[in-house]
Amino acid sequence: MPESRKLTVAVAQYACVPDVETNVARAEQAVAEAGAAGAALVLLPELHNTPYFCQREDPAIFDYAEAIPGPTSDRLAAAARAAGVVVVASLFERRAPGLYHNTAVVLDADGRLAGRYRKMHIPDDPEYYEKYYFTPGDLGFTPIDTSIGRLGVLVCWDQWYPEAARLMAMAGAEMLIYPSAIGWDDVTDDADEQTRQLGAWQGVQRGHAIANHLPVITSNRVGVEGDAGTEIRFWGHSFVFGPQGETLAEAGDTAELLIADIEPHRTETLRRIWPFFRDRRIDAFGDLTRRYRD
């Protein structure tokens, strides 16, 4: 039988402000608190060291971008090493002049840069004008090896695509991890629509957990950001799901350090009972590489 072990994970949920120093200090504090709570991993919200700047298109905003390694990743590496915890954090990466990515870095518990994932699916919707800022990722769906296991790191909009989760699972990911920044428009989204959106967001990721028999760890930010008429109310509700979609922990809509225990060994046990990978009809899936079947 697979070796039975539990892994304590933490999800940092908080509001982000325009001042980068304040946000980075908040992240460092979350890493320290996660380590003190016995967590082996801590996940920060998407673009955690800046406001959610994609609500408008402004060339000056590219000044937020950093190289990786760079100032923020170096500070997070030091925090990871001091706390003895793996850190997953999404950053605005300046790769070259005119070339920028939304990149998740993974800092191992010794502070080493274990790897990075560049966001593959880039939205372009009202108040989420990410295509203006981010070039789609070019690193593929490749898990990152760390001292606590193989992490299938994806970013926000990626969470709506079962193909991304499946490819990470097929490459040996032991958990799926999604730093996120998602919320409501209080002007256009009434209470019923807000409930539907939150349910859809959690529901699709619950499906990834079940279909791949993997724990899913997802962060979000909280608070209201933007200008009058274009505000986003980030809804929080970060969560940890088990490999059958069970809720192991869920935050509310205020700042919180969410703590949960996951059991990576259950993946093998569940795949023996429900062999979804064995029964995939890969001979009939060719049309998945098409945009649409007319």
> Catalytic amino acids?
46, 119, 156
- In angstroms, rounded to a whole number, what is the distance separating the alpha carbons of residues 176 and 169? 8
- In angstroms, rounded to a whole number, what is the distance separating the alpha carbons of residues 121 and 182? 15
Q: Which residue has the tokens 């807000």?
A: 194
Question: What is the edge-to-edge ordering of all strands in the sheet holding 144-146?
Answer: 144-146, 149-153, 175-178, 216-218, 239-241, 247-250
Q: Nearest to residue 260, comparing CAs of 175, 182, 201? A: 175
Other CB atoms within 10 Å distance of the CB of residue 78: 14
- In angstroms, rounded to a whole number, what is the distance separating the alpha carbons of residues 8 and 245? 17
Contact by Cβ (8 Å): 18, 276: no
Report residue 76 as tokens. Answer: 């997070």
E strands, the chain, where? 7-13, 41-43, 86-96, 99-107, 113-118, 124-125, 128-129, 144-146, 149-153, 175-178, 183-184, 216-218, 222-225, 232-235, 239-241, 247-250, 256-262
Half-sphere exposure of 94 (CA within 13 A, CB side): 12
